[in-house]
Structure 1
Amino acid sequence: MSTQAPNEARVIPLRPQAVPPADGGARPRQRPAAAPPAPAPREPLWRDLVGDALRRERLAQERTLKDVAEEARISMPYLSELERGRKEASSEVLAAAARALGLGLGDLISLAQDELARYGRSQADRAGRAGQVRRSGTAPTARYDGLCLAA
């Protein structure tokens, strides 16, 4: 004994449908609702920060992708993907790219951490200007005094 489902699709509206006024007449004019606040910018991903640091250093040295990729012994398209934050690189690949730029892995991580700290400060400044206050009565601040990576 099998039961078949009815051959009907269930439609769920994406927006609530307008309900006509019960009295059928015109409603009193209401003030439009305030626009919702703009969403906060997303926190940068680690791969974006590291990629930006690699690209900034490469461009500061006026070197090409091809040159750095060959010295690091990684493919040029892969290095490009790293710089654009499209790939998560292993520590070995990051160390090779950093060495090709004359940096140590710690130097590269420090450059990325500095960028993360700048982001935190700009968020705190933006929150302070918007008048967001903690219960203690002070504007929220973000400080990154160190960096911890876990694998």
Structure 2
Amino acid sequence: MNSHLPNEARVFPLRPHGVRPSGAPPRQAPPAPAGKEPLWRDLVGDVLRRERLKQERTLKDVADEARISMPYLSEVERGRKEASSEVLAAAAHALGLNLGDLLTRAQGELVRLTSRQVPGGGRATRARTGASHDGMCLAA
């Protein structure tokens, strides 16, 4: 007769765990691009989250005050959504910042991260290459 319980699934593996088909090369993760610059949405989200946590406030509290949905604010904080300037301004104001404060902090983080990735990324390198991170330019 049947030796297993009526609601119990029986699994038959097609090949034993960890065994690769013959001739298949081992799977490797694709190499990460060296020196990849961070995305603006990640930087802005990090600034929002750090400020919210510093103030010991919940996502719900800040989202309610900013009049945006809590799931959307969470997505913005995690860098999953590219928020409009209106949403960013509302979230910043809910945290007691203005939009300029938020963007300046994100820009500072961008400079800090990118100057670390470029060999010799100090002021001398910027002077040689003509690159300057002393200003901010946003394009839509």
**TM range, smaller chain:** 0.5 to 0.7
Structure 2 unpaired stretches of 5+:
1-30
SS class of match (2:96): coil
Query: Is 1:48–2:37 an aligned residue pair?
Result: no
CA-atom RMSD in angstroms: 2.5
Q: State which of 101, 106, 111 in structure 1 corresponds to 2:100.
A: 106
Moved more, 75-84 or 138-147: 138-147
2:70 paired with 1:76: yes
Matched, 1:65 2:59: yes
Corresponding residue for 2:138?
149
Q: Which has the higher contact order (CA 8 A, sep 6+)?
A: 2
Q: CA deviation at 1:119?
A: 1.0
| CA-to-aligned-CA distance 1:83-105 (integer Å, 9 cap, x gap) | 00000011000000000000000
Larger Rg: 1
* Post-superposition offset of 1:120: 2.0
User: Identity of aligned pairs, percent?
Assistant: 74
Tell me, in whole angstroms, the C-alpha distance in 1 between the residues paired with 2:137 and 2:112: 17
TM-score by length of 1: 0.63
Where does structure 1 lack aligned partners over 5 or more consecutive residues? Answer: 1-36
Segments ≥4 residues shifted beyond 3 Å: 138-143
Cα distance in 2, alignment partners of residues 142 and 68 from structure 1: 37
Greater share of residues in helix: 2
Deviation at 1:61, TM superposition (A): 0.6
Structure 2 counterpart of 1:47, which letter?
Answer: R
TM-score, normalising length from structure 2? 0.68
In the superposition, relative to structure 1, how do residues 141 and 53 fare at CA in structure 2: closer, same or farther (>3 Å)? farther
Q: Counterpart of 1:121? A: 115
Distance of aligned partners of 1:38 and 1:99 in 2 relative to their CA distance in 1, 3 Å threshold: closer
